[in-house]
Amino acid sequence: MKQIATIYGINGPIVYVKGKTTFQMSEMVYVGNSKLVGEIISLNNDMTTIQVYEETSGMKPGEPVYSTGEQMSVKLGPGILNNIFDGIERPLKTIEEQVGQYITKTVQVEPLDTERKWPVHVTVQVGQEVMGGTIIAEVQETKTIVHKSMIPPHIEGKVVEVVPDGEYTITEPIVKVKQLDDTIIDIPLAQKWPIRIPRPVRRRHEGSVPLITGQRIIDTLFPITKGGTAAIPGGFGTGKTMMQHQIAKYSDADIIVYIGCGERGNEMTEVLEDFSELEDPKSGNSLMERTVLIANTSNMPVAAREASIYTGITLAEYYRDMGYDVAIMADSTSRWAEALRELSGRLEEMPAEEGFPAYLASRLATFYERAGLMQNLNETEGSVSVIGAVSPQGGDFSEPVTQNTKRFVRCFWGLDRGLANERHYPAVSWLNSYSLYVDDLSPWYRDHVSPDFINNRRQIMEILHQESSLMDIVKLIGSDVLPDDQKLTIEIARVIRLGYLQQDAFHQEDTNVPLAKQAKMMEVILHLYRQCRELISMGMPMSLLLESPIFSKIVTIKYDVRNDQLELLDQYIEEIDQFYNHIMATNA
Ligand SMILES: Nc1ncnc2c1ncn2[C@@H]1O[C@H](COP(=O)(O)OP(=O)(O)OP(=O)(O)O)[C@@H](O)[C@H]1O
């Protein structure tokens, strides 16, 4: 590390160096006597601008700036999972041990423990040709996940030496590779990668498998693919965080990267406590064993918040490269955009809409476009699914962050204030939300869940849309004037809303529902609809049908039938038929 400049001016997290320097764009630097981490964000002959990721108070002009010659990077290796980092990959537990609960500016910590020895199984042999992505060693990183250490991208050559299986730190060489130019390079378990550059892949595939979340409104109505993108916009307290937590807990991703971005500190504490206690439904181990948290709470420096989503997605890509399905959640991207706005303001850039910089859209794109189902360099297939919460001021979806996010995501799970006020949770609006993956996923649902799944989904959506138009009339002139078939639509829509779309995150059985049960529940509701329609077409009045308790019975299926008792659902079909026969027998 060499000093190559001195500080000329400081404005919050922005530091200026006067005159021509030899820094490179995006280079990571250490700023001031306390060596705070910074990044070069603009350069010209007169002035260099540095964004500093730690608190700059107390720093003075004249203090040194040190070059590293490297881009702003993260360390990738065993020890990432079951850990909690700040926005630039500093482990919060280690920081707390060193300086207590509040991060003071002089902490110098390694991102990953360099002393811990990991049990390593080497998977390459001397003489083997290797290239970027080749898996060289396996390490049981947590009880749930086997970490696969790889040759860093852009390195190619022949293995000339390997260590025997045994215990090694992340910095000790595991293999030596003779590169194409005959130089020999040591490859340890860990590698570095710049956070703003996507890790290379062989090719991108269209996703055709859903990320199953156990949340009915998502899996059935607005599904997301593994490798897909989704946004959860919603006003204050409409349930964004809850929904992100539910997906993090129950989705069938192998790895979860959870970024708490500008949210309250106690929300992150909740995640940590919850996830440590909760069991991963797949493995039975604690959820933290497959999770990494990045916490950049509202009281931490804004520049690190800006970096946190790129740090998160780089970690996600790294596990994808091992062949895992990764889901990354960012809560909330609005707080991230506010950090961008604050930094842009300090740089005196020309503000665009609502004070956000003109590059808001391109920055959002560089995040969401890193999602995808990929064929990795090592020919494994892995995916990164990105789910971002958006918290527009006053729940107004026309503001720039929501609108620009909409351009880059293919699922929009819009949370509705009215539904949240009625305590209809998850408050996802079935009228304003969409998923552009439904067609891509149809064959999968047909082959793996039920041949009728997509058709049933379409019918459910139709009933909900019809209800919405009918409600406009009802509001004007009341429901009494509606013909019976329309009254039936309204009643069945009520059953769908209460019995299917409402899902209680705090109910042991309802919190996470397998697709098979979702499919069966839909079948039951639509069977009731068809039988009632037939009765009405034969002249039976809706008031007569409503005397039966069958409607309320179907509403409570979600609580009454356990997730592992699906055979009971056939009895509901029989009961609907008995109800039909009874009406026919007594009123024909
Ligand atoms: N699926 C659900 N089941 C039961 N309750 C829910 C559900 N979703 C949300 N809630 C309730 O709504 C409350 C608010 O949710 P949450 O904190 O997720 O909102 P938010 O949109 O993230 O809020 P903020 O804007 O403050 O970040 C929760 O504390 C919970 O009581």
pLDDT in tens, 25-35: 888 999 999 88
Q: How is residue 22 written in tokens?
A: 């030899």
Residue 532 located in a structural domain? yes
Residue 345 located in a structural domain? yes
90 pLDDT band (50/70/90 cuts)? confident
Residue of 329, 425, 513 best suited for mutating to test ligand 1, as the one with most atoms within 8 Å of CB: 425
Residue 301 has a pLDDT of 77
Which ligand 1 atom minimizes the distance to the CA of 503? Answer: 1
CA of 236 to the centre of ligand 1 (A): 9
Question: According to the annotation, is 323 in a ligand binding site?
Answer: no
For the cut 60, the answer to whether the pLDDT of residue 198 exceeds it is: yes
Residue 276 has a pLDDT of 76
Rounded-to-integer distance, Cα 294 and Cα 305, Å: 10
Query: For the stretch 75-95, what's the b/e string if a residue is b when 16 or more beta carbons lie within 10 angstroms of its beta carbon?
Result: bbbbbbbbbbbbbbbbbbebb
Query: How much is the average pLDDT of 199-220?
Result: 96
Same domain, 388 and 244: yes
Which residues contact ligand 1 via a Cβ below 6 A?
234, 236-242, 391, 425-426, 503-506
Length of the chain: 588
Half-sphere exposure of 331 (CA within 13 A, CB side): 27
Locus of tokens 């499919």: 519
Same domain, 251 and 354: yes
**What range defines the domain where residue 166 resides?**
113-189
Question: According to the annotation, is 12 in a ligand binding site?
Answer: no
For the cut 70, the answer to whether the pLDDT of residue 265 exceeds it is: no
Residue 423 located in a structural domain? yes
Query: How much is the average pLDDT of 57-66?
Result: 92
Same domain, 245 and 380: yes
Alpha helices in 347-483 (DSSP H): 360-368, 400-408, 417-421, 438-448, 453-477
Which ligand 1 atom minimizes the distance to the CA of 427? Answer: 8
For the cut 80, the answer to whether the pLDDT of residue 78 exceeds it is: yes
Question: According to the annotation, is 229 in a ligand binding site?
Answer: no
The 3-state DSSP class for residue 85 equals: strand
Tell me how far the alpha carbon of residue 185 is from its chain's centroid.
Answer: 36
137 pLDDT band (50/70/90 cuts)? very high
Share of the chain above pLDDT 90, in %: 70
For the cut 90, the answer to whether the pLDDT of residue 494 exceeds it is: yes
Whether 488 and 526 have beta carbons less than 8 Å apart is answered as no
Same domain, 166 and 212: no
> Strands 255-261, 411-412: parallel, antiparallel or unpaired by DSSP?
unpaired
Whether 309 and 261 have beta carbons less than 8 Å apart is answered as yes
Write out pLDDT tens, residues 1-53. 677 889 999 998 899 999 888 898 888 999 999 888 888 988 888 899 998 88
Which ligand 1 atom minimizes the distance to the CA of 332? Answer: 27
Residue 147 has a pLDDT of 97
Same domain, 422 and 346: yes
CA of 366 to the centre of ligand 1 (A): 29
Same domain, 427 and 468: no
- Residue 38 has phi, psi (to 5 degrees) of -140, 170
Residue 107 has a pLDDT of 67
Same domain, 183 and 226: no
Question: According to the annotation, is 21 in a ligand binding site?
Answer: no
Same domain, 428 and 469: no
Q: How is residue 401 written in tokens?
A: 């962050």
Same domain, 494 and 519: yes
For the cut 70, the answer to whether the pLDDT of residue 104 exceeds it is: no
CA of 369 to the centre of ligand 1 (A): 28
Single out the residue of 197, 235, 400, 230 nearest to residue 314, CA to CA. 197
Higher pLDDT, 298 or 470: 470
Residue 266 has a pLDDT of 66
ipTM greater than 0.90: yes
Same domain, 155 and 209: no
Query: How much is the average pLDDT of 466-494?
Result: 90
* Total number of domains constituting the chain: 4
Q: Is the dihedral of CA 25, 27, 33, 36 positive or negative?
A: positive
Same domain, 320 and 247: yes
Same domain, 378 and 523: no
Task: Kindly report the number of other CB atoms within 10 A of residue 129's CB atom.
Answer: 11
Residue 92 located in a structural domain? no
